[in-house]
Structure formats: structure tokens, C-alpha cells
Structure 1
Amino acid sequence: VAASFDAKSSYVNKLKKWNDLYGEGGSRKKEEQLNVIRRRLGSWGNKYVSLGGRIVLINAVLNAIPIFYLSFMKMPVKVRREVVKIQRKFLWGGLSNRIKTCWVKWEDICRPKNEAGLGLRDLRLVNISLLAKWRWKLLSHDQEVWKSIVTAKYGWDIIGKRELGNLDVPRTASLWWRDLCLLDAENGWFRLAVGKKVGCGHSTSFWNEVWTGGQSLRQRFP
């Protein structure tokens, strides 16, 4: 019981820390976090760091952003753009205050090396991937404390569902749960990428599951 209580308390505390950092009234703390990234890059200077060295540093400096927070909620677009701005400026001009020309689109730079990119990690994709891991865990059969918290609030029917959407987001839903449910709202990439292996059938709906053709029977025969 004590272990369960500690785990739940830790869960709540970490959500509170995220809200303090990226929620309303968190402008000062957001700026502090951005300054941490600037200092991490600035500690090396740029006079003797090659382009390849700067690429390594940019990837490493993502550790200045608490990965746990990125796995809990979607980073605000404004904050992400500021981080990318810092990274782009350092890549092309180091720590110089002069405006430097960005010769290649950031999207191309973030492509894997085998696709003619530089292999920089895309912060948006890192964020989405970490959030998707929670969706994946909801499909697994392990018994974790956080699942009991989520199911107690949102119902047992969320377990085993490949597709979550607006109907699964009540008015009292947390920001974390809202971001999780709407993660692939635009194109349903998570649902399409995940296959389901039927076991006892308790979490499987014959009418609502997608068996073939990319649509459920309910969608094909309304």
C-alpha cells in the first residue's frame, strides 16, 4: 500500500512540476529552461568547434530539457520554436550575435544521415514518440500503478483501445490525457501502425475493431 501511495504521489508531483513549467504563469520558468540550453551550448564556445562538433553538441543539449516532461505532455509550440531557434543559430553561427544564413531547411537537417540529413533529433518527433509510448503501454497487459489511476478516472474501456479521440476526453480531463488522446487526431497514424492480437476477447469489439481495409465494420456499414 505504501509503495502504491508513493508511486501515485510521485505521479501527481511530476504533473504539477510540468504545469509549473509549461502551464499558465510559467513564463519565467520557461525562460529559465531556455537559458539552461543556452548555457549548455555556450559553455563550449564556438571558436574551436567544427560544424560536426556543433551537431554533436546540439543533440547532446536536448538532455538539458527534462525528457520526463517531454514524455508527459505536448510541448507548447512557442517553446519548441524557441528551442529550435537556439539550435539553428548555434549550428550555423555558433554563439555569434550576428545573423547567419541558414543554408538548409531545418526539416532536412533533422533527417537521418542515410536520407541525406545530418541526423539531428527533431524535438517535435521526440516529444510525439515519448507520448506514443504511453499509448502503447495502454495496449500492453502489464499491471502498473499509473494504469489504475487512469482507469479509475476515465474508465476501463480505454485499456486495449488503439484509437482514442475526442469522445475519450471528458471535460475534467488532464492536459496529459487530452494530449494522449489527440496525439494522432489528424491522420490516425498510431491506430494504423499498431496491430492487435486477440486473446480472451474482453477488450476486443467485433463491430468497432479494424479487421481489414483500414476501417471498422461500424464505419463500413453505418
Structure 2
Amino acid sequence: MPFRYLGVPIKAGRLTKKECNSITEKMVARIRSLGARKLSYAGRITLINSVLNTLYNYWATMFILPKGVIKRVEAICRNFLWDGSSDFHRVPTVSWEKVTCPKNEGGLGIKKAELWNIATVGKLVDWVYCKEDRLWIKWISQIYIRNQDWHDYIPPNDANWSWKNVCKVKEALKHGYDNAVWTANIKGYTIRSGYDCLRTSYPAQSWPSIVWNSWNIPKHSIITWLIMNDGMNVKQKLYKWGCCEDDLCCLCYRETETTEHLFLACEYSCRVSTEVERRIGMQFPTLSRLINGNKKKLQWRFLTAVLNAVYYSVWMQRNNARVNVMILRPEHVAKQVKELVVKRLKFKLGRNSDLDAMDWMRKIGM
């Protein structure tokens, strides 16, 4: 003791940070092998949810991991999201608390490692509540619980460390049970419902359906999400941090470059919007118009993709102006926006488009 079984350490005492280092080592190795610096924000989010969290999740279903390991896991995910590496090189533009909110509450839907760990171990707690026909449940009932009520059970001081942790998780989830029945979900306890029960909930936002619409190009959606959360490094912020000589807009050089000015009031942005209107034959969409629109209509999906594409293109031209001191004419930007959105729409519709959709696409020159 300790020895490894199925890749995890088996021991009677407390798990140490050193014994869990293989989790973070695998995560760092995976980041280095993926060429992550070349990925967009959207690609990094996908890899965090599908690859990095999977490496951690395997251990989290069995043990309550040391807090040092939890902090390192979250630090790796945070650094990877904002900088494409496992080390800290860049200050996050949006707080991790906001990033870990669900998408309908304005976040990115990345899970908090500590709460997810508690929720996964909560499955063991639920098995004890339901008296599952498992060998370790029978053993626990005979050695520890005996004839006591599991809901009010308190472990003895000389109990095993792992068992004490299971009891701590039971106390954290205790308010979700009523007469040994998990009330937060009709179908019984699930890890997701346990996680939702543990986390702090925020009011649902009205704009996420516009940002996370599957008809949008993912890298466009991330830029819009950053705009909504005031996460863009506009010159107003950079000037306060001492990173530039002035705070004038890179596109018009007339007013202070704030998020609102750059995307809504800047002369260049307005010219791009006007040119897009001319090319698609429709009024340029606004957030308020899209929020109140019919989300099932093809036109709404098209306009949503247009809005996200315009925001993304304006931000790219702003960066080009700041780094290379050159920008494309609004006509060229509008042409690129329409081409990108049309390609996306054709990809999503495929060959199974109905006649109404085909007629509408012809009208806007698709």
C-alpha cells in the first residue's frame, strides 16, 4: 500500500497531492500535443469539455481529490482557455466565476472542478440512500451504518478517510433529499442535477440564444459572448493599464474606443452594417430585434449569423488597424460577411431544404 488499480492509487489513508499529480501531468501533456496555441477560443472550449475534463472526471468519480489538485486542474483549464497553454501568461478577460456559469446564464458552461467532484461522489451517496444491491453497500451497512438512519448518520472519529469524505458529500447534498428520495430530478439522482443543486444560480439572460445558436460560426459566437460580458480588450482598458499611448478608436480615431463605440457607434462599423444591409436586402439586425424574433424561422437564424459575423469582422479589422495600421474597405468586409454566412447556412441546410427555404435563399442571392 498504496498500489494502483485501473490507473488510480488504492490506499487506506488520505490521498496526497503527489499521488494525484498524474492527472495534471496528463492534462499538460495533452495540451502540448494538440498545438493548442493555433486554436480559436471555440476550439479550446471544446477541448476543455471533451478532453481535459474527461481526464479529471475519471478520478473525480471515485475520490474527493485534494484541494491543491482541484486548484491546479482549474488553473490549467483557465490558462488553456485564455492563452492556449497550461501556464499563466495572460490575464483573463472574464472572471472564472462567470465562465463556469451555464450558457443560458451568460457563461461558457465549463464545470467547476470542486463542485463537479462533489456531485460525482454524490452518486455513491445516492446508492446508500437507495440501498443498491452492491457488495460495498452491504459491507458499509454492516460495519458503519448498521441500524442508523443514513440521512442523519454521523461517521465515528476512527472511520476510514474515504468514508468520512462520502459522509461530507452526503451533508452537502442532504437538502436535496426528502424521505430518501432525490427531489431535484424526477428520474432520481444524476450528477448534473447534483451539480446544479450545489452551484450558485444566476438569472437567465435573454441574449444567449443569439450567441449560441448552432447556425452561427463558433469563433464568431465567442467574440459576441466577450462583447456581452465586457471582455474585449478595447483601448479604453489598455490605456488604463498603460499598454498604449492613447485611447482613441483604431478605426475612426475620433472617440474613445469602448466596446459600445467600437461595435455600435463607430463610423467604420456603421458603414459595414449599411453595406451588409444593401447586400442581403434586409435591415441590419439588432439585439433587441433578434431577442423578440421568432427563433424557428430561417430568416432569424440567418440574421443571427449575420450579426455575429459582423461583430467578428469588425474586431478583426480593429486588430489589423492596431497591429498593421491597415484595414479593408467596408464593402470588402460586407462581402466577406455575406460569403461566410451563406456558406454556413448552406452547410446547415444541406440538400434537404424545403421549397420555401430555397425561394427565400434565392431572393437574398444565395
TM-score, normalised to structure 2, is 0.43
Contact 1:169–1:178 (CA<8 Å) still a contact in 2?
yes
Residue number in structure 2 paired with 1:195: 178
1:58 and 2:75 aligned: no
Q: 1:151, 1:119 → 2: CA distance?
A: 38
Of 114, 118, 125, which aligns to 2:108? 118
Residue number in structure 2 paired with 1:132: 122
* More displaced 10-residue stretch of structure 1: 176-185 or 76-85: 176-185
Superposed, 1:47-86 pairs within 5 Å as 47-60=37-50, 61-65=52-56, 67=58, 69-86=59-76
Q: 2:63, 2:123 → 1: CA distance?
A: 12
Q: Deviations over 1:71-93 (max 9, x none)?
A: 23211111111111111111100
Q: 1:98, 1:128 → 2: CA distance?
A: 27
1:44 and 2:65 aligned: no
Give the count of matched residue pairs.
176
**1:96 Cα deviation from its structure 2 partner:** 7.9
**1:19 Cα deviation from its structure 2 partner:** 4.0
1:157 is paired with a residue whose SS is: coil
Q: Deviations over 1:81-116 (max 9, x none)?
A: 111111111110012867201111112101110010
Q: Deviations over 1:168-197 (max 9, x none)?
A: 222331122101112264xxx522211117
Contact 1:72–1:176 (CA<8 Å) still a contact in 2?
no
Runs of 5+ consecutive residues of structure 2 not aligned to the other structure:
182-366
**1:66 Cα deviation from its structure 2 partner:** 5.3
Give, as a single letter, the amino acid of the residue that structure 2 aligns with 1:182.
K
Residue number in structure 1 paired with 2:168: 182
Identity rate of aligned residues, in percent? Answer: 23
Give, as a single letter, the amino acid of the residue that structure 2 aligns with 1:100.
R
**1:49 Cα deviation from its structure 2 partner:** 0.8
Give, as a single letter, the amino acid of the residue that structure 1 aligns with 2:169.
L
Q: What CA RMSD, in Å, does the superposition of the two structures yield over aligned residues?
A: 2.8
Cα 1:36/1:108, change in 2 over 3 Å: same
Of 128, 138, 150, which aligns to 1:161? 150
Q: Deviations over 1:141-169 (max 9, x none)?
A: 432111112122203235x52244xxx22
Cα 1:133/1:163, change in 2 over 3 Å: farther
Q: 1:77, 1:94 → 2: CA distance?
A: 24
Q: 1:114, 1:181 → 2: CA distance?
A: 32
**1:117 Cα deviation from its structure 2 partner:** 0.4
Q: 2:179, 2:121 → 1: CA distance?
A: 19
Q: 1:55, 1:96 → 2: CA distance?
A: 14
Contact 2:76–2:86 (CA<8 Å) still a contact in 1?
no
Q: 2:170, 2:137 → 1: CA distance?
A: 21
Q: 1:82, 1:177 → 2: CA distance?
A: 25
Contact 2:12–2:161 (CA<8 Å) still a contact in 1?
no
Cα 1:44/1:141, change in 2 over 3 Å: same
Q: 2:14, 2:44 → 1: CA distance?
A: 28
Runs of 5+ consecutive residues of structure 1 not aligned to the other structure:
1-11, 199-222
**1:53 Cα deviation from its structure 2 partner:** 0.7
Q: 1:13, 1:71 → 2: CA distance?
A: 15
1:30 is paired with a residue whose SS is: helix
Cα 1:145/1:190, change in 2 over 3 Å: same
1:91 is paired with a residue whose SS is: helix
1:17 is paired with a residue whose SS is: strand
Max radius of gyration: which structure?
2
Cα 1:64/1:197, change in 2 over 3 Å: closer
2:9 is paired with a residue whose SS is: helix
Q: 1:22, 1:91 → 2: CA distance?
A: 31
Give, as a single letter, the amino acid of the residue that structure 2 aligns with 1:85.
A
Residue number in structure 1 paired with 2:309: none
1:88 is paired with a residue whose SS is: helix
Cα 1:181/1:141, change in 2 over 3 Å: closer
TM-score, normalised to structure 1, is 0.69
